[in-house]
Structure 1
Amino acid sequence: MNRIDFSPYRRSMVGFDRLFDMIENQARANPGDKYPPFNIERRAADAYRITLAVAGFKPADIDITAQANLLIVKGQKPDEHVDGEMLHVGIAQRGFERRFELADYVRVANADLADGLLVIDLVREVPEAMKPKKIAIGGNTLTVVESGSASDSAAA
Structure 2
Amino acid sequence: MRTNFDFDPLWRSTIGFDRLADLVDSAMHATDDNYPPYDIERSGEDRYRISLALAGFGADDIGITAGQNTLVIEGRKPDGNTRDYLYHGIAARPFRRVFNLADYVQVKQASFRDGLLVIELVREVPEAMKPRRIAIGTGQPSQIEQKKAA
TM-score, normalised by the number of residues in structure 1:
0.80
Q: 1:11 to 1:132 in 2, by over 3 A?
A: closer
Per mean C-alpha deviation after superposition, the further-off stretch among 69-78 and 7-16 is 7-16
Distance, in Å, in 2 between the alignment partners of 1:7 and 1:81 is: 50
Would you say the 8 A contact 2:7–2:21 is kept in 1?
A: no
Over the residues paired in the alignment, what is the CA RMSD in angstroms? Answer: 2.0
Aligned length: 138
- 1:107 is aligned with what amino acid? Q
Q: 1:107 to 1:11 in 2, by over 3 A?
A: closer
Query: Could you list the runs of 5+ residues in structure 1 that have no partner in the other structure?
Result: 141-156
1:51-70 Cα offsets, whole Å, 9 max, x none, are 00111111110000000100
Considering only CA atoms, is the larger Rg found in Structure 1 or Structure 2? 2
Distance, in Å, in 2 between the alignment partners of 1:51 and 1:79 is: 26
Kindly state the Cα deviation for residue 93 of structure 1 after the two structures are TM-superposed.
Answer: 1.9
Would you say the 8 A contact 2:55–2:92 is kept in 1?
A: no
- Name 2:44's counterpart in structure 1: 44
Which has more strand, going by share of residues? 1
Query: Could you list the runs of 5+ residues in structure 2 that have no partner in the other structure?
Result: 140-150
Give aligned-pair identity as a percent: 51
Q: Secondary structure at the match of 1:134?
A: coil
Distance, in Å, in 1 between the alignment partners of 2:87 and 2:78 is: 20
Q: Which has the higher contact order (CA 8 A, sep 6+)?
A: 2
